[in-house]
Amino acid sequence: MTRGDAQDDGTPDSVERKRDALAARALAEEAEAQAAEALAAAAQARARAARLRERADGLTTHDAVEADDVAADEPTVGEADDDADEPAGDEERPEAVVAARRRFPRTRWGTVVLTLTLLCTAAFSAAGAYVVWQHREAVAHQQQSAEYAAAARQIVFTLMSIDAAKAKDNVAQILDNSTGEFHDEFAGAAEDFVKLAQDGQVVTDVNVKAAAVEKMAGDTAEVLVTATSTVTNAAGADKQPRMWRLSVTVVRDGDRLKMSKMEFVA
């Protein structure tokens, strides 16, 4: 019997030692496998870090997000070598794209702001023009209204101012300041009017109190006139003033304003 046979003699102690030896060997092999895997993982991590450094050299700080996307793809070692061999022009391409993307929002917002500015300017200009136009229209309306009111005051004063010594001149002035329906009717009664004034030695003193335009359209206006008159005649009429309210229609006849209609208002 050899020494080895003596050690492996089939006794319980011998079997136990053999079992322990096999277990120790298995643990050693497992540890070696884990160490190999760790070395492989470390090598892969170093390769990835190298690739990231190479790409980071060609990107600006604003391109860090795209660099993370490239790292997440985890290309193989061969792909990393191919990327390292690419010319410098390919490395600059992502930077141009990112720069364009950064400029695009500013350009878009700049266009929006410019458009809004132009629209606001146009709106303010239109509003200003409208205000100016409204002001001019109001001023023109006031001037025209004042012109009609002044014409009506003068026409009523001429119509009611009678002097027996100047009766024919008074009638001529009334006809000269009238037109249309009133002119035609008064012209037909002009001789009787003169005779009545002369026979009665009529003299009237007129005071026009106020005149206001009630309605105005185009070249025509209706004016309300208030006046007082004091009459003296051969019959001894009292000199008490009498109040009159007249509605006078004034029209533009050529370059003059004339009366076309007159009514007494209660």
Rounded to whole angstroms, the Cα distance separating 263 from 4 reads 157
pLDDT in tens, 206-216: 999 999 999 99
pLDDT in tens, 148-202: 999 999 999 999 999 999 999 999 999 999 999 999 999 999 999 999 999 989 9
Q: What local confidence, expressed as pLDDT, does residue 62 receive? A: 47
Q: How far apart are the first and last CA of the chain?
A: 164
Residue 25: inside a domain: yes
Rounded to whole angstroms, the Cα distance separating 231 from 244 reads 13
Structure token pair of residue 251: 């029209």
Among 71, 86, 101, residue at a domain's last position = 86
Question: Quick one: 149 and 82 in the same domain?
Answer: no
pLDDT in tens, 24-59: 666 666 666 666 676 667 777 777 777 777 766 665
Residue 227: inside a domain: yes
pLDDT in tens, 53-84: 776 666 544 454 444 554 445 454 444 444 44
How much of the chain exceeds pLDDT 90, in percent? Answer: 38
Query: What CATH number is given to the structural domain containing 201?
Result: 3.10.450.230
Question: Quick one: 151 and 70 in the same domain?
Answer: no
Q: Which domain holds residue 178?
A: 145-264
Residue 94: inside a domain: no
Question: Quick one: 149 and 259 in the same domain?
Answer: yes
* Strands lying side by side in the sheet with 203-217: 203-217, 220-232, 242-253, 256-264
Residue 189: inside a domain: yes
What would the mean pLDDT of 107-131 be, rounded to a whole number? 78
Q: What local confidence, expressed as pLDDT, does residue 89 receive? A: 45
Question: Quick one: 258 and 154 in the same domain?
Answer: yes
Question: Quick one: 72 and 160 in the same domain?
Answer: no
In 58-87, where does DSSP find H-type helix?
Answer: 64-73, 77-84
Question: Quick one: 255 and 174 in the same domain?
Answer: yes
Among 62, 86, 110, residue at a domain's last position = 86
In sequence order, the β-bridge partners of residue 224 are: 212, 247
Rounded to whole angstroms, the Cα distance separating 146 from 141 reads 8
Residue 254: inside a domain: yes
